[in-house]
Amino acid sequence: MTRKEPKIESVLDLNSSNVWTVDAIEIAKLWEEDKVEEDFRNSEDKILNIIRLCFEVVHYNPDDSREKAKYENGEWAVFSHVDAKRGHVAIRKKDIKRISDLSYENVKYISSSLLLELIDRNFGGGWDSIQLSLKDIIESAFEVSTTTLPTNRLHSPGGTYERKLAAGFDVLEVPKGNWTEAIFAKKKEPVEKLRYQSEARYDEDGNLIKDLLDDDAPLPVDDDDEVDETYYSSYSEEAAKKSEEEDEDMGGLNVE
Convert the pLDDT of each residue in 175-192 to its tens digit: 999 999 999 999 998 665
pLDDT of 62 > 70? The answer is yes
For the chain, where are the E strands, in sequence order?
A: 55-60, 77-80, 88-93, 142-150, 170-176, 179-187, 201-202, 208-209
In the structure, what pLDDT confidence band is assigned to residue 202 with cuts at 50, 70 and 90?
low
The rounded distance, in Å, linking the Cα atoms of 75 and 81 is 20
Q: Read off the pTM.
A: 0.63
In the structure, what pLDDT confidence band is assigned to residue 124 with cuts at 50, 70 and 90?
confident
Contact status, residue 188 vs residue 142, Cβ threshold 8 Å: yes
Contact status, residue 117 vs residue 171, Cβ threshold 8 Å: no
Secondary structure (3-state) at 2: strand
Nearest to 154 by CA among 184, 122, 118, 124: 184
Higher pLDDT, 5 or 169: 169
Lowest mean pLDDT among 83-87, 193-197, 200-204: 193-197
HSE on the CB side for 128, CA within 13 Å?
A: 7
